[in-house]
Amino acid sequence: MKRTILRIPAVKSESGLSRSTIYLRVSQGLWTKPVSLGARAVGWPSDEVEAINAARIAGKTDDEIRVLVTKLEAARKGAKEWGR
């Protein structure tokens, strides 16, 4: 699978959520934190957006989604080490 970075309009389209709801869920631990793309730009890895959407569709609880978000963010650190 090709890993791409989605900007907020694409994340809104993929998730059906508003910008404010996405950032609210980030603060609640129900969505991964955005990745910095530069001084004033952020985005989300497409596979993370897909995983969170799949968890919601599967009826996972908020607590289960928080665990998923923690794992997804931890995997970023592993990818960072791998890229060195």
pLDDT tens by residue, 22-58:
999 999 999 999 999 999 999 999 999 999 999 999 9
Q: How far is it, in rounded angstroms, from Cα 61 to Cα 84?
A: 36
Q: Is 9 helix (H, G, I), strand (E, B) or coil?
A: helix
Q: What average pLDDT score do residues 67-77 get?
A: 95
Q: How far is it, in rounded angstroms, from Cα 13 to Cα 19?
A: 10
pTM above 0.75, yes or no: yes
Q: Could you tell me where the DSSP H helices lie in the chain?
A: 8-15, 19-28, 46-57, 62-82
The conformation of residue 58, written as its DSSP 8-state character, comes to T
Mean of per-residue pLDDT scores for the chain: 93
Domains of the chain (ranges plus CATH)? 5-82 (1.10.1660)
Q: Is 37 helix (H, G, I), strand (E, B) or coil?
A: strand
Q: Is the pLDDT of residue 12 over 80?
A: yes
pLDDT tens by residue, 48-59:
999 999 999 999
